A and B are shown apart, each in its own frame.
Chain A
Amino acid sequence: MTNLHAALGGTGAIARFARAPGPDGRRGGATDVYLDHAATTPMLPEALDAMIEELARTGNPSSLHNAGRRARRVVEESRELIAEVFGARPSEVIFTSGGTEADNLAVKGLYWARQGRRGGPRRPRVLATATEHHAVLDSARWLGDHEGAQVEWLGVDHEGRLDAGVLRAAIERDPSAVALVSVMWANNEVGTIQPVGELAQVAGEHEIPFHSDAVQAAGQVPVGLAASGATALTISAHKLGGPVGVGALLIARGEDPVPVLHGGGQERDVRSGTLDAAAIRGFAVAAELAEQRRAEQAVRLARLRDRLIDRVRKAVPGAILNGPDPSAPAAAGQRLPGNAHFSFPGCEGDALLMLLDARGIACSTGSACTAGIAQPSHVLIAMGADAARARGSLRFTLGHSSTQADVDALAAVIGEVVERARRAGR
């Protein structure tokens, strides 16, 4: 053992991690103020414990022996729990590696399933809002580029909402040619909540499958498969206090998406791959706790979020809140409780992010997937913002570990940071 470690020396993974100064590369540094829960939120301690306990055990849920049966039981109990939380039957839960895979399976799988292989009609139309997450956006685009789909982007209003009338008009141009409709439950950038029930009903009138990416909504607002009338919902564990790397597609019984991953035939042949019992258990524990605490948490986060909006507006009078304004009575229930998203005219978002990061405050210029090279947000563009306003934007998202001290820490520096970023210009 000693020899092995010596042999690994400075090049081994253990030594390398040991040398790293900290999880974020910061040397020493102040306690971080984490305002990026929409990117990922800390695991709930109960979920972490449950997952670690399961990680220490052996057993492939597909194996027939005792170890396999034990792991299978963990998976099935977790499936039942998740089904209950999201108003679905256990058989309607398909575990995936996360939100992206579930979105790919829904969009591509439902599209293919609707192409009438045995002489049935071809349905080339795919309808989705222009503000979808890239997992839906790019899956639909891919179908357009490679499978002959006609993708139609549904317009949203200046707050990011899709009007049911817009969807109805789009469908009715040629209802029988529509393969599926995909509209996210809540937007990952600006937090706008779509009228999913109303939209699902419109699609349902024409018996068109309706998928909704509910990754940001799950655990924040009531999300139910049966109650919403949706055909399929995407859920991700790490946005509600579970581990990264696991999620689910909830899909109504009777719908048979064509698989994207082929192999051992797990998950009713819809999604092959060894089931990750530990992650699934962590997912289930987190989902159950998030649901139990949801109502209370939503009130607390909305209050914190309103304080954040108020303090930022006072510190930066020119700041523009993107998405529904929670202080407007008409906007009640139209925005995720933990989301605040601003444009700071005259600033570049990545300069603001860097200056806040240097002060120990973590936020985002958009979805983490596009972080790196700044591109104007397609969400804000679809909402009618110009490229400059889209580039000068920041998202602050709160979650279960957020406190008033976090909000006040941001409020204390945002004025000076915006001032500096403005001087740095464009």
Chain B
Amino acid sequence: MSALRVLAAMSGGVDSAVAAARAADAGHEVTAVHLALAPRPASRRTGARGCCTLEDARDARRAADVIGIPFYVWDLAERFDAEVVQDFVAEYARGNTPNPCLRCNERIKFAAVLDRALALGFDAVCTGHHARLEPGGPGRVRLARSADRAKDQSYVLAVLTGRQLSHAIFPLGGSTKAQVRAEAARRGLAVAAKPDSHDVCFIPDGDTRGFLRARLGAAPGPVVDPGGRVIGSHEGSYGFTIGQRRGLGLAAPAADGRPRYVLDIEPATRTVQVGPAEALEVRQISAVRPVWSGCDPPTGPLEADVQLRAHGETYPATCWPADGGAALRIGLRRPARGVARGQAVVIYDGDLVLGSAVITATAR
């Protein structure tokens, strides 16, 4: 591989630090940037959540020192708020369940950051995502699952276009998380034992419902059973996700004593419908905004495996293009439970990502 001018996005975590080190070892000219995404960053991490504290910026800076690469902070807080946080809130308000990591990859890391990097003379952006890139024919790279299936992040990267992927470097795709941590320790990187970050980085206390209530206000409404009978109330339909079982706030148990789940959310009437687990089962999925990075856009039915949420299982399915390629109809060969609107459906051929789309509707 010829030497490239590489911009390494460093969060302050172990993955992005080892990724940048490997890119430098590969002979690339690597420059580190830490993306400041929070408007008023907290000074310290609390627990395993979040990734935008000043402590994380310092960890990233120290890792860059040890690797021996220049380090800068790019302030993308405004852009992140407009593209990711506002979208997150608006999606919940519409009764959907967004994936902000995916959105951040699509709009921030491989859009705002990548575009700026290319304009400044860089060839590629390097991140610590656990995913592989494979040659996919002339001028094309294809995204594939990480060698560490448990840490695989191809799902949140599947929204990237072929052009975006052609400027991406994921040096960790062939390694397990354990190998990455061991290598960080060997390299003398202080972040080797730093806990993984989980959950939504801009909700450091993990209270998504409280975060949404502060922005959307109280919007009380009824909780109904599948027959439409009101069996409870709630403070805002945005606090629910299809398939959710806990926190329904129902006083009386179901007549049959079995657990109840959120089946549907209707923001217009503020109605949350709950029912038994089997009522969650769907076989038909509609999705929009397909992105095909791993193959040409299909013109007829495509047999593939689909994944319906991050770290979820895959289902054999048939995908039909619709609306002249602007939408997808997906038929699952066995039913899936708890499929939420707003999540991505990612289409795989084995470990290879073919494409992705955004789920808009489901049916049994």
- Is A bound to B? yes
Listed in ascending order, the chain A residues whose CB lies under 8 Å from chain B are: 10, 16, 19-22, 24-27, 350-351, 353-355, 357-358, 372-374, 420-421, 423-425
Instruction: Give the residue name and chain of the A residue nearest to B29 (CB).
Output: A358
Which chain A positions have C-beta within 8 A of B119?
420, 423-425
Extra contacts, 16 of them, besides A22-B68, A24-B70, A424-B120 (Cβ < 8 A), are A10-B188, A20-B65, A20-B66, A20-B68, A25-B68, A25-B69, A26-B68, A350-B74, A350-B75, A351-B120, A355-B121, A357-B70, A358-B31, A358-B70, A420-B121, A423-B119
Best-buried of A355, A373, A374 by chain B (most CB within 10 Å): A373
Nearest CB on A from B51, distance (A): 16
**A-contact bits for B54-74, CB 8 A (1 contact / 0 none):** 000100000011101111111
Is chain A's interface secondary structure helix, strand, loop, or mixed overall? helix
Residue of A nearest to B117 (CB): A424
Given that A19-B188, A423-B119 are known contacts, is A373 also in contact with B36, CB under 8 Å in the complex?
yes
CB proximity of A185 to chain B, nearest CB, Å = 31
9 interchain pairs, CB-CB under 8 A: A26-B68, A27-B68, A351-B116, A354-B72, A354-B120, A373-B73, A373-B75, A424-B115, A424-B119
Asked if A350 and B65 sit within 8 Å, CB to CB, the answer is no
The count of residues in chain B whose C-beta lies closer than 8 Å to any C-beta of chain A is 20
Query: What is the bound-complex CA distance between A19 and B65, given in angstroms?
Result: 10
Which residues of chain A come closer than 8 Å to B36, judged between CB atoms? Answer: 373
- Choose among A10, A25, A372 the residue that contacts B70 (Cβ–Cβ < 8 A): A25
Chain B, range 19-34, C-beta contacts under 8 Å to A: 31
Instruction: Assess A25 versus B64: contact at CB under 8 Å? Given A10-B188, A358-B70, A373-B73.
Output: yes
* Chain B residue, CB-CB nearest to A372: B73
Q: A25-B68, A25-B69, A27-B68 are in contact. Are A374 and B120 (CB under 8 A)?
A: no
Q: Are B75 and A374 in contact (CB under 8 A)?
A: yes
Cα distance, A372 to B36, chains bound together (Å): 10
Residues of B within 8 A of A (CB): 31, 36, 57, 64-66, 68-75, 115-116, 119-121, 188
Beta-carbon contact of A420 and B71 below 8 Å = no
State how many angstroms separate the Cβ of B240 from the closest Cβ of chain A: 36
If A420-B120, A421-B120, A424-B120 touch, whether A25 touches B65 (CB-CB below 8 Å) is yes
Cα-based distance from A26 to B65 in the complex (angstroms): 9
Residues on A with beta carbons closer than 8 Å to the beta carbon of B188: 10, 16, 19
The complex places the Cα of A257 from the Cα of B188 at a distance, in Å, of 48
A218 to B107, CA, bound (A): 48
Per the bound structure, the CA–CA distance linking A321 and B75 in Å amounts to 25
The 7 lowest CB-CB distance pairs between A and B, nearest first, are A424-B119, A21-B68, A423-B119, A424-B120, A424-B116, A373-B75, A372-B73
Question: Contacts of B120 on A, CB cut-off 8 Å?
Answer: 351, 354-355, 420-421, 424
Q: Is the CB of A350 within 8 A of B116?
A: no
Contact partners of A373 in chain B: CB under 8 A:
36, 73, 75
Among B66, B68, B72, the residue within 8 A (CB) of A350 is B72
- CB contacts (< 8 Å) of A353 on chain B: these are 72
* Whole-angstrom distance between the Cβ of B330 and the nearest chain A Cβ: 38
A26 vs B36: C-alpha distance in the bound complex, in angstroms? 23
A25 to B72, CA, bound (A): 12
Name the distance in Å between B68's Cβ and chain A's nearest Cβ. 4
Using CB atoms, name the residue of chain A closest to B67.
A25
Complex Cα–Cα for A354 and B121 (A):
11
A274 to B191 alpha-carbon distance, docked (Å): 37
Question: Please, how many angstroms separate the alpha-carbon atoms of A21 and B70 in the complex?
Answer: 11
**Chain B residue at minimal CB-CB distance from A21:** B68
A371: nearest chain-B partner, CB-CB:
B73
Task: Please give the distance in Å from B34's CB to the nearest CB on chain A.
Answer: 9
B67 to chain A, nearest CB (A): 8
